Chains A and B, each alone.
Chain A
Amino acid sequence: NAGVTQTPKFQVLKTGQSMTLQCAQDMNHEYMSWYRQDPGMGLRLIHYSVGAGITDQGEVPNGYNVSRSTTEDFPLRLLSAAPSQTSVYFCATRTGVEQYFGPGTRLTVT
């Protein structure tokens, strides 16, 4: 049981490039979400999904897209990377009241 996995661990992008951050879970949890973590700002919700085929925006959705075609996967797409998207990104799942976080992806946009 791997829990929540994220790839890649590290990524450097140039401004304007696009990429997809991968998130997968093997716990069969319906709820999945993406957060970004920035110094002094805690974790902020980007997008979330309550089940396959259903997604919604969080607090800071601009510049990011998501889709949820399966229960297991919840990729986060950066359409045109900007330096303001330099951050650590965490994927999480939830069952009941408990939330489980992945190890994170550290993204730098130059």
Chain B
Amino acid sequence: AQSVTQLDSQVPVFEEAPVELRCNYSSSVSVYLFWYVQYPNQGLQLLLKYLSGSTLVESINGFEAEFNKSQTSFHLRKPSVHISDTAEYFCAVRPFGGAQKLVFGQGTRLTINP
């Protein structure tokens, strides 16, 4: 079975400051890794994903995440946040093979203060 732990339930930062949202996972098999974003009163949208290859993946709006296999982590970072980044962020994993069910972390609420 898989499990995902997001180490911070809430992260407040000031606009234009850097941010890191932490995600650790546990799995006995190889997994795909994802970050989803949920803006207020909306559904979830895929932000970025790691499938294979380069361990650093980037999104179109400036976020990046790095897969660290030895530490079983997939932390999300942005060097300079904007008010519009205010949202809840979910880390998720999906195992190779089998039913390939997506397992989510508890979520991190990112609040950007002006």
- Chain B residues positioned under 8 Å from A103 (CB to CB): 42-43
- Chain B residues positioned under 8 Å from A61 (CB to CB): none
Of all chain B residues, the one with the shortest Cβ separation from A44 is B104
- Chain A residues positioned under 8 Å from B105 (CB to CB): 42
- Chain B residues positioned under 8 Å from A42 (CB to CB): 4, 6, 90, 104-107
- Chain B residues positioned under 8 Å from A56 (CB to CB): 99
The answer to whether B45 has its CB under 8 Å from any CB of chain A is: yes
The answer to whether A78 has its CB under 8 Å from any CB of chain B is: no
The answer to whether B27 has its CB under 8 Å from any CB of chain A is: no
Instruction: Provide the bound-state CA to CA distance between A41 and B4, in Å.
Output: 11
Mark B20-52 against chain A: 1 for CB-CB distance below 8 A, else 0. 000000000000101010000011111001010
The answer to whether A75 has its CB under 8 Å from any CB of chain B is: no
Instruction: Provide the bound-state CA to CA distance between A99 and B102, in Å.
Output: 9
Query: Would you give the shortest CB distance from A39 to chain B, in whole angstroms?
Result: 8
- Cβ 8 A contact of A90, one of B44, B46, B101: B44
The reply to whether B104 and A43 contact each other, CB–CB distance below 8 Å, is: yes
- Chain A residues positioned under 8 Å from B94 (CB to CB): 97
- Chain A residues positioned under 8 Å from B55 (CB to CB): none
Given contacts A98-B46, A101-B44, A103-B42, contact A43 B101 (CB under 8 A): no
Residues of A within 8 A of B (CB): 4, 33, 35, 40-45, 48, 50, 56, 58, 90, 97-99, 101-104
Residues of B within 8 A of A (CB): 4, 6, 9, 32, 34, 36, 42-46, 49, 51, 90, 94, 99, 101-107
Contacts A40-B9, A104-B42 supplied; 4 other A-B pairs, CB < 8 Å: A42-B104, A90-B43, A98-B46, A104-B43
